[in-house]
Amino acid sequence: MTTPQLVPESAWFKSSYSNDSGGNCVEVANLIPTHAGIALRDSKIPDGPTLTLPPDVFTAFVTHVRA
């Protein structure tokens, strides 16, 4: 799987659940090749750690968080 350092800055976008008030913000990026995985990071620390997940695990994570 692609390492976080190889995700171009332009690939990151803020989660629709984040807001502009400076609170807890999550950014996500689709890894290339398409459907290879999803990368997540804290928008306040863009050079910090990144979590990469396979698409099925990311879907399960989002489903759990929404519940």
What is the dihedral angle through the alpha carbons of 42, 47, 8, 39, rounded to the nearest 10 degrees? -40
Tokens of 37: 């995985």
Q: Read off the pTM.
A: 0.70
Q: Calculate the CA 5 to chain-centre distance.
A: 13
**Share above pLDDT 70 across residues of the chain, in percent, rounded to a whole number:** 73
State the average pLDDT for the chain: 78
pLDDT digits (tens, 9 = 90+) for 49-65: 888 899 899 889 889 98
How many Å apart are CA 62 and CA 67, to the nearest integer?
A: 9
Q: Using an 8 Å Cβ cutoff, are 12 and 27 in contact?
A: yes
How many Å apart are CA 28 and CA 7, to the nearest integer?
A: 10
